[in-house]
Structure 1
Amino acid sequence: MENAKISNLYDLDETIAKEYLEQFTYPWEALKGISEFIKKLGPTLDPEKFEKRGEDIWVAKSAKVAPTACLNGPLIIDEDAEIRHCAFVRGSAIVGKGSVVGNSTELKNDIIFNSVQVPHYNYVGDSILGYKSHMGAGSITSNVKSDKTLVVVKDGDEKIETGLKKFGAMLGDYVEVGCNSVLNPGTVIGRHTNVYPLSSVRGVIPANSIFKKPGEVVQKKEA
């Protein structure tokens, strides 16, 4: 399942979690260990650039954090990130350099790469969002199946049993998700792909494509 491999989704130079992610083939394999990784990495961060704000919470001094934001550890907020009014970080999260976590956005067990935007009313749980990816207002990752069974990643006839009950979405670099879309459990979206607003997305969506609706995914035309 080449489309779902870390090497085909992400530029690992654009995350503080590079060394952690390098040990895995598929990104969802990293979900179980995010919390422990943060606890190990946090104490090694440069105290000239980061301050400890609570138990297992490290925030870059250059980051902007609204006084109304709720921060729970383990958590790392990297340089120049912005955590806006009433954002809710439930913990086990890495927010990359220059990323924006907006009003009423909730994060839980995520790796957010550098320059990612989840700026308005987003829920992002058990997910990894690649460099410069963007989730439109109201778009969410659904991270538990309605029947509570374990998540299976599907790409055509190929299937991978993840063994995970909680698994949101893996967004490659530069992915654009339209407003009020739902990314169903086990969704993987390739680099430079756009998702139309109001979409319900599942499975593996190839890179450089446009998801218009289920069954209608077209490749982008080369400029």
Structure 2
Amino acid sequence: MVQPSVFFDLDHATVHRLFHGVDRVWDLLPRLPELLASWLDGRQVVEGEVMTGAVIGTEPVFVAAGARVEPGAYLCGPAYVGPGVVIRHGAYVRQNCILLDGAVLGHASEMKNCVMLPRAKAPHFAYLGDSILGSRVNLGAGTKLSNLAITAAGHRKTFLVEVDGVVHDTGLTKLGAVLGDDVQTGCNAVVNPGTLLGRGVRVYPNTNVRGYHGAGKILKLRQHIETAEWR
């Protein structure tokens, strides 16, 4: 239940290439530096539009034809930016990121050591750390995919993920979220480190999510609001 095919449609050629030989879905993340090194071959290749005011760092990057990097965005690299990708004003793409066809990283959004599969979107004020976003995922404004947990003694720990009663040691001290195809989050949702969401899961606004939730679930926050006269 933790294979990539459980979370993602692998028919897309580049998605299939990404996950070739990956048994547990999160095992893609530590492979990103090596994978990008083989894809980029130490070069910067810019075929798409890098608008005046956007910045590309000194690391290897590929920006495909039809992609657009808007003013104020910073593309650090190593990074692969596929066709039709939009990196909007003020976005920050840090090390070891892959954005596939039609993905959108929006204003004031940051990603690091992440993969966005085709048409995944983090349009507004999002943080994506050490995470994989499936095809057509949409993050509501302010969604945070946090990636680090600290013990009471102040030490980092490797993440344990429980799926259907089986506990898996990921071996990773940083792990954000794995969001299956078509997952959607509401505004200001917080997805805690090591969270796995199956295909089509819906997360309501302001909800704090952790653990594994299978395909098709709806995760809701219920709160009681009181009203009173102020004069």
Partner of 2:102: 98
How far apart are the structure 1 equivalents of 2:39 and 2:215? 31
Q: Does 1:200 align with 2:200?
A: no
CA drift of 1:14 comes to 3.7
CA drift of 1:50 comes to 6.5
Q: Work out whether residues 112 and 129 of structure 2, in 8 Å CA contact, stay in contact via their aligned partners in 1.
A: yes
Partner of 1:38: 36
Structure whose alpha-carbon radius of gyration is higher: 2
The letter for the 2-side match of 1:57 is V
Q: Does 1:115 align with 2:119?
A: yes
Q: Which moved more, 1:8-17 or 1:204-213?
A: 8-17
Partner of 1:56: 60
**Aligned pair in 2 of structure 1 residues 48, 196: CA closer, same or farther (>3 Å)?**
closer
Partner of 2:175: 167
Q: Work out whether residues 15 and 113 of structure 1, in 8 Å CA contact, stay in contact via their aligned partners in 2.
A: no
How far apart are the structure 2 equivalents of 1:43 and 1:161? 32
CA drift of 1:27 comes to 1.4
Structure with the higher strand share, 1 or 2:
1
How far apart are the structure 2 equivalents of 1:113 and 1:34? 14
CA offsets per residue over residues 136-195 of structure 1, 9 Å max, x none?
Answer: 100011100132221111235321111110000000000001111111111000001101
CA drift of 1:17 comes to 4.4
CA drift of 1:77 comes to 0.4
How far apart are the structure 1 equivalents of 2:96 and 2:180? 20
Paired residue total: 211
Matched-pair identity in %: 36
Q: Which moved more, 1:178-187 or 1:35-44?
A: 35-44
Flag structure 2 segments of 5+ consecutive residues without an equivalent. 51-55, 223-231
CA offsets per residue over residues 13-66 of structure 1, 9 Å max, x none?
Answer: 346342231211221111111011011112499x79569965311101211111
Flag structure 1 segments of 5+ consecutive residues without an equivalent. 215-223
The letter for the 1-side match of 2:32 is I
Partner of 2:218: 210
Q: Runs of 4+ in structure 1 displaced over 6 angstroms?
A: 50-53
Provide the aligned C-alpha RMSD in A: 2.3
State the TM-score, normalized to the length of structure 1: 0.87
Partner of 2:76: 72
Partner of 1:183: 191
The letter for the 1-side match of 2:102 is G
Partner of 1:218: none
Q: Work out whether residues 200 and 215 of structure 2, in 8 Å CA contact, stay in contact via their aligned partners in 1.
A: yes
State the TM-score, normalized to the length of structure 2: 0.84
Instruction: Give the secondary structure class of the aligned counterpart of 1:19.
Output: helix
Greater RCO (CA < 8 Å, at least 6 residues apart): 1
How far apart are the structure 2 equivalents of 1:69 and 1:171? 25
